[in-house]
A and B are shown apart, each in its own frame.
Chain A
Amino acid sequence: MRDNIHCELISERNLLIHFGEHISESLLDTIQQAELCAAKVFGHQLKDLIASYTTLLIEFDPLLISPWQAQIKYQKAWDKHCRLLHSQAFKPNKAAREQEMSCIEIPVYYHPSVAWDILPIAKQKGLTWQQIAELHSQRQYRVYAMGFAPGFAFMGQIDPCLEMPRKTSPRTNVPAGSVAISDLQTAIYPNASPGGWHIIGRSPCELFNPDNSPAALLKTADSVRFKSVDKERFIQLGGCLDDLRVFDDE
């Protein structure tokens, strides 16, 4: 647990809290704790929270608490929270086990007919597309941040063998459910949208639906695993194939 945080007031209603300089899984757990701490300490004074890789943006209601009070209140609460965790000899193993148990499994159809970029990647990496699918589905990932679009989860980290820089020119229309990779991250496009990541599969899962509760399937700090499914199962689960897409092998 990181005790040293940098708590910056960036406006009359926003506190930006820095927990470290580098992305790591342990920092993710710290920020998850920090979110809980913010919700507890501010209660109804809290307007919004945005957790990201190394930071937490807190929006409070400046009519209910002044920015300076908010800053001190959070700093104190966090110090106390950390002392408490230390004194109880926080058991990371237990936390890890809980994570393991709550791992969300997401079915993915990795076939080149829907995985528009899997063949070029395979060629570039000197692998078969089946190996790409295997490398992608054998790891357990964590959600590091939500953003870009409702329900879009930035997950990490993928096998370094699969590392690909973002496309230089984004596609104007990536289909909903597309499972994609970029740098050391992976994600699923909840809705059809423009996108610059490399598409290596498609999931039949609904990532975001305002009528569901919760509306987003994933949230920050969740554990996720991808499970390769065949065409039949993909369709059975509600997956959509492309109508008449001709794909070249490049």
Chain B
Amino acid sequence: MMNDVLEVTKANFLALFIDRGRTQQQSMGLTQSGPMDEYAFLWANKLLGNELNAACIEISFGKFSLKARQRCQVAITGANLKVQLNQQALQNWETIGLKVGDELVFDSPQMQGTRAYLAIKGGFECPKPFNSACTVKRENLGGFDRGGALKVGDKLSSCIPQAQHQMVNISVYPDLIRSYNNQETITCRFIPACQWPLFSCQEQQRFLQQEYRISSESDRMGFRLQGEKINTFSEGIISEGIALGAIQIPPDGQPIVLMRDRQTIGGYPKLGVVLSTDIEKIGQAMPGQKVQFQVADIKTAYEERVQREQFFGN
């Protein structure tokens, strides 16, 4: 372990330690959690040759700065938060060597995604309750003070010593870099499942033909969508387990897509499950952005999942 490598100099309560999530704990009511943008998260670790599950910092909406107290190597991926190194614009999706005193600033969203990932060589050293670094405020789990986001003055350490010589910086091949455009309509593929057959054809069509808007009442738990009301066959069902990406319809008829910090069980009818490789599109969406849904099948979901894991070397 290497102590005191970086210090937080500015924070907005939305910068969290994150890894791939907690498993085997949902039976106790704990959420799985995990990165809102898995693709960017995995790239941050891959760029540094880290273990894929190494703890990173998920920085949402910017307003987050760090100062290097030791020479270290980090990687930044995900949204364009107008990141700067000592007041100079910095490229995203690449590794950066920091010197003592360097200041790294994540400014604000530029309509190109909302969440960036900061990884450090070897991964951040942080508490791992139930074997995961994920910080979940409502469960008082993760982070330095049981569920707390990173705050000014926090000293961050890495799991391995940082090389003290100059390192070669590498970047993601341009074709593989995600460009998030918050002005475009997101197309989200989903598997019609769960209570889908219980909705009338008319309501199913209504859901498929609509362009929804992302509500500002969206967070790591769920994204609320606004559009024409979907009439449900019932106000509630007997509560059942909720999968990542489940699309539930509460009595007001406005869909909620359940994200990484979703509750474990719920009693609203569901239309189906968003593909695990598409859910990050919503994770990077801005309030007001448009979303459309498209039917996909398990085969596509499976092939894309396997392809992703194999690509990242799992």
Contact = CB atoms under 8 A, between A and B. Distances in A.
B is bound to A: yes
Contacts of B233: none
Interface stretch (A95-103, A124-132, A140-148): A140-148
Contact of A220 (B27, B191, B240): B27
Contacts of A57: 240-243
Interface stretch (B87-95, B137-145, B213-221): B137-145
A106 interface: no
Nearest to B301: A12
B243 A59 contact: yes
B4 to A, nearest CB: 26
Interface stretch (B28-36, B48-56, B159-167, B251-259): B28-36
Contacts of A52: 238-241, 265
B263 interface: yes
B136 to A, nearest CB: 9
Contact of A53 (B30, B194, B239): B239
A81 interface: no
B26 A49 contact: yes
A67 interface: yes
Contacts of A214: 28
A13 interface: yes
* Interface size class, chain B: 35 or more
Given A48-B24, A149-B139, A54 B238 contact: yes
Interface in A3-23: 8-14, 16, 23
Contacts of B238: 23, 52-55
A39 B156 CA distance: 38
A175 interface: no
B276 interface: yes
A84 B142 CA distance: 43
Contact of B276 (A9, A13, A149): A13
Interface string B111-152: 000000000000000000110000000111100000000000
A109 B194 CA distance: 41
B304 to A, nearest CB: 8
B28 A16 contact: no
A10 B138 CA distance: 27
B62 interface: no
B306 interface: yes
B28 A150 contact: yes
Of all A-B residue pairs in the complex, the 4 with the closest CB atoms, nearest first, are A57-B241, A50-B241, A147-B265, A10-B193
6 contacts: A10-B272, A49-B27, A52-B241, A59-B23, A150-B141, A220-B27
Interface of A: 8-14, 16, 23, 35, 47-57, 59, 62-63, 66-68, 145-152, 154, 191, 193, 208, 210, 214-216, 219-220
Given A8-B193, A53-B239, A68-B298, 17 more contacts: A10-B193, A10-B194, A12-B276, A12-B301, A14-B273, A48-B23, A48-B32, A52-B241, A54-B240, A55-B240, A147-B265, A151-B28, A208-B28, A210-B129, A210-B130, A210-B140, A220-B27
